[in-house]
Chain A
Amino acid sequence: MRKLLPRHFGKMLYQLTRDLPEKELDQAVAEFVKFMARHRAFRRLDRIIAAYEVYAREQDGAEDITLVSARPLPEALAAKVVSHFGRGGKIETIVDETLIGGLIVKTRRRVLDASVKTQLRGLKNDMLAD
């Protein structure tokens, strides 16, 4: 039997409880907990909840984004960047001075690297190719 990942559980829970009336919610969650027990998934509960939240946000058109920059980003600039990737997702900012300048935007499926470090590496490769 294929191993079920936290992401699978999260997706199941979302699809089970989406648009469900409140009075049926307890019953649905109870069934889900029984399902988790059959698959011995309780020790992964934290990750299942996190995966559910990520999936729910994705379904709402939001993506969790990580912004990596050489210096702390002003909030307005960060918001402007994030707005291109949908609203409502979690935003994490990391400062990495080795980038020298520019920005790296990481979503779940893609990495957009516009850092100065990568530009310089590209320039180096072009020069070596000559």
Chain B
Amino acid sequence: MSYTDQVITSLKKNVASFEKRVDVSEVGTVIEVGDGIARMDGLDKCQALEMLEFPGGIFGIALNLEEETVGAIILGDFKKIKEGDSVKRTGRIMSIPVGEAMIGRVVNSLGEAVDGRGKIKTETLYPLERVAPGVITREPVNRPLQTGIKAIDALIPIGRGQRELIIGDRQTGKTAVAIDAIINQKGQNVICVYVAVGQKESKVARVVAKLKEAGAMEYTTVFIAGASEPAPMSYLAPYAGVSLAEYFADKGKDVLIIYDDLTKQAWAYREMSLLLRRPPGREAYPGDVFYLHSRLLERACNLNKEHGGGSITALPIIETQAGDISAYIPTNVISITDGQIFLETELFYRGIRPALNVGLSVSRVGGSAQIKPMKKVAGSMKLALAQFRELEAFAQFSSDLDPETKKQIERGRRITELLKQPQYSPMPVASQVMIIYAVNNGFFDSTEISAITEKQNAFVEFMSSAKSALLDKISAGEWNEETEKTIASSCEEFFTK
């Protein structure tokens, strides 16, 4: 049958089966509108989070169901709405389109494309608000999610299904850590979602350009609620991102989602709540600001085999002011997540980048999220670093110290230098294991601090070219006496030539 005939057949079928229907909709009247919020009279049977249709095709979400009025946030230009306008119930709870077609695209909080590449065709809708998977559907986190950053993969390992907070002052490299984690997922069968909340659009454009350059947009979706958009879009963006992540996790895929950042989502929610006249609490945040983040982050999970075996790993970002991690929102999110990566301004300006404060950072999943070789070597390095931190204050008196203490200080300095890593240069886990093994066993002790980076790069190149089979074994998680002997001999071969 030709295409024309197919179209004609379809038309005839639709016209023949068409049934007249009367569209019955419940309506209300706008009695107050402004600052992205509208208050309506009527809408007696309106549900919480139901989508409402304003004139001009603008949508809103009902948030406040009061005795005689409904308060709603407007997802669009509120200046086009006036008092007396008619508002219609749609009967749909807020949901976004999800599907494979979203991968590689930049979208807003409603799932609409904003990258100029045309409309996204999807067939499925997922609700923005969804109850998190229960205890029975989950299994413990036991598979690593490699970020490619040595300091994190060795000392603060992240597993698939974990929530690990990235927290620090402005300009400490929080987004850089997140982007490196996304770039390192290339070839790892992990889908990535980056949610930009209240960010400068120029910054997001740079991030997208970098992801494209690294080939990461092939498996990444970017949600953007820019700084110029109304507060409700910033409030919804993280939920939209996790809804897409759940779509893939339900199909058994592993997903990495980054919320950059939740501080701005909390600000947007505070703004909305104050305009909706909800009672302000501490720091003028509404009373349910904890629930705002807890219900979002609880949706990250590691599903068991019976439920598809997929996972959602969440890396929320929180910006602190003057390093105060005991403030309201930071403490809330720290108590929700399974660990935090604390980035310090002082370390950043001392040239230690990523500026990780290893003492304050933790991963509550720990070794369960590491492959066996990494678990074997990382412990010694962590101990050496901890000892170095204790002795660091004495470093300025190095000429007066005993040889053992001097050795610990020198070892600590070398480890600190080795843990530095340039941006956009994630390192495979096997190379990381080799470097850590080498430093633990003193192979770098004779190298000057200033030459450490060069030596490390040369060592990695040597291993990649001459010992690729060994690297493959390490990547596969193999660790036994024979592997250890081979690693040792490889290190001797390189460092003694």
Contact = CB atoms under 8 A, between A and B. Distances in A.
Interface of A: 5, 7-8, 106, 108-114, 118-119, 122-123, 126-127, 130
A110 B28 CA distance: 8
Contact of A113 (B14, B25, B31): B25
B23 A112 contact: yes
Contacts of A111: 23-27, 86, 88
B428 interface: no
B360 interface: no
Contacts of B11: 127
A109 B26 contact: yes
Contacts of B27: 106, 109-111
Contacts of A7: 41, 68
Contacts of B44: 109
B411 to A, nearest CB: 67
14 contacts: A5-B41, A108-B42, A109-B27, A110-B24, A110-B27, A111-B27, A113-B25, A118-B23, A119-B21, A122-B21, A123-B18, A126-B14, A127-B11, A127-B14
B322 interface: no
Contacts of A5: 31, 41
Nearest to B69: A5
A123 B68 CA distance: 36
A86 to B, nearest CB: 17
Nearest to A7: B41
Contacts of A106: 27, 86
B80 interface: no
A87 to B, nearest CB: 22
Interface string B138-162: 0000000000000000000000000
A127 B10 CA distance: 8
Contacts of B393: none
Query: Chain B interface: which size bin?
Result: 20 to 34
B136 interface: no
A27 B22 CA distance: 49
Contact of A114 (B15, B22, B29, B86): B22
Contacts, number: 52
Contacts of A110: 24-27
Interface of B is mostly: strand
Contact of B15 (A112, A118, A122, A123): A123
Given A109-B28, A113-B24, A114-B22, 4 more contacts: A7-B68, A110-B26, A114-B20, A122-B21
Contact of B18 (A109, A113, A126, A130): A126
Nearest to B27: A111
Interface of B: 10-11, 14-15, 18, 20-29, 31, 41-42, 44, 68, 86, 88
Contacts of B86: 106, 111
A93 to B, nearest CB: 17
A81 B302 CA distance: 58
Contacts of A113: 22-25
A112 B22 contact: yes
A123 B17 CA distance: 10
Given A5-B31, A7-B41, A127-B10, A112 B18 contact: no
B5 to A, nearest CB: 15
Contacts of B25: 110-111, 113
Contacts of A112: 22-24
Contacts of B42: 108-109
Contacts of B14: 123, 126-127, 130
B41 to A, nearest CB: 7
Most chain-B CB neighbours within 10 Å: which of A8, A111, A112? A111
A121 to B, nearest CB: 9
Nearest to A3: B32
A130 B10 contact: yes
A111 B26 CA distance: 6
Nearest to B32: A3
Contacts of A109: 26-28, 42, 44
Contacts of A127: 10-11, 14
B236 to A, nearest CB: 25
A119 B18 CA distance: 9
B437 to A, nearest CB: 60
A111 B24 CA distance: 6
A16 B145 CA distance: 70
B124 to A, nearest CB: 14
A113 B44 CA distance: 19
A96 to B, nearest CB: 14
A85 to B, nearest CB: 13
Return the 9 tightest CB-CB contacts between A and B, nearest first. Answer: A113-B23, A114-B22, A127-B14, A111-B25, A111-B27, A112-B24, A123-B18, A118-B23, A109-B42
A98 to B, nearest CB: 15
A8 B28 CA distance: 16
A7 B31 CA distance: 10
